[in-house]
């Protein structure tokens, strides 16, 4: 049963479909909005939520077209996903908020942060971008144009997702549309020039991530007028799945500093 506290969306709020709380923390001074990778779901951040609670209240985004939202239409662009997230986020902005996104989620978190930064009162306290080169760099891999099995082979070669469950044909049929839609959103995204982010940015990357070389991730420093830092972890594109404790410690350290400012 979900606990609703002051400022939380009520059960009748349509935005509840987008935002999930695994470990409600009504006394936390900071919220962290987490945005999943292409083909991913809110549950990808359960472990990080557990690590940060109760000091930080983690909100995990559930995109349409997967798990309990599988009957909803998929959104095929970063802009549509951004607008959906931003629209659902309004009731959660009564406390300071930071954003964390991995891979596709990093670009989406960046775009949501740009929207929030238009108003000084809702400017994020921090942006964490993981497993993605700078947002102005276009991704040209057309995975969304391949058939299911060819797409899985390409994902395996890129190290772009955890393909273990995709060996099951029934699972593949269920999740392939969401993966294809998300990769189409990534491939067709084009960065629009605009003001630099006014919030600090921390970039995280695995040292053997073929999809996001360290030098490209370091280029995020050009997209903020505030402090920038880069943290390299051991592992590939999905380094995060094995290092939630270390990532949680880093996030908490950065957010504690933001709250002290």
Q: For the chain, report the end-to-end CA distance as a whole number of angstroms.
A: 36
Look up 103 and say whether it is catalytic: yes
CA gap 252, 235 in Å, rounded: 21
Look up 130 and say whether it is catalytic: no
CA gap 238, 131 in Å, rounded: 8
CA gap 104, 135 in Å, rounded: 10
Q: Which helix (H) or strand (E) is 81 found in, with range?
A: helix 78-89
Instruction: Give, in degrees to the nearest 5, the angle at Cα 143 between 150 and 151.
Output: 20
Candidate list 37, 41, 49, 103, residue with the active-site label: 103
Candidate list 37, 102, 126, 237, residue with the active-site label: 237
Contacts of 260 (CB under 8 A, 6+ apart): none
CB 112 within 8 A of CB 30: no
Q: Which helix (H) or strand (E) is 31 found in, with range?
A: strand 30-35
Catalytic positions are 103, 237
């Amino acid at each position: 049963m979900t606990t609703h506290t002051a400022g939380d969306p009520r059960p009748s709020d349509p935005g509840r479909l987008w935002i999930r709380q695994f470990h409600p923390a009504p006394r936390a001074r900071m919220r962290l909005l987490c945005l999943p990778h292409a083909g991913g779901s809110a549950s990808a951040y359960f472990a990080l939520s557990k690590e940060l609670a109760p000091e930080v209240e983690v909100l995990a985004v559930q995109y349409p077209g997967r798990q309990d939202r599988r009957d909803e239409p998929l959104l095929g662009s970063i802009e549509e996903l951004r607008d959906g997230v931003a629209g659902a986020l309004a009731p959660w902005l009564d406390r300071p908020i930071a954003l964390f996104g991995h891979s596709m989620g990093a670009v989406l978190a960046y775009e949501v942060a740009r929207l929030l930064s238009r108003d000084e009162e809702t400017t994020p306290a921090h942006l964490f971008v993981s497993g993605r080169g700078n947002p102005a760099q276009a991704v040209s891999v057309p995975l969304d144009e391949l058939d299911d099995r060819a797409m899985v082979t390409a994902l395996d070669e890129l190290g772009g997702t955890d393909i273990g469950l995709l060996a099951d044909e029934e699972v593949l049929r269920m999740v392939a549309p969401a993966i294809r839609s998300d990769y189409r959103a990534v491939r067709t995204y084009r960065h629009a020039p605009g003001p630099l982010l006014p919030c600090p940015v921390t970039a995280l990357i695995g040292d053997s991530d073929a999809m996001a070389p360290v030098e490209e991730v370091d280029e995020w420093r050009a997209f903020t007028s505030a402090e920038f830092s880069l943290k390299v972890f051991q592992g590939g594109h999905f380094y995060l799945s094995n290092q939630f404790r270390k990532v949680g410690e880093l996030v908490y350290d950065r957010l504690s500093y933001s709250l002290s400012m």
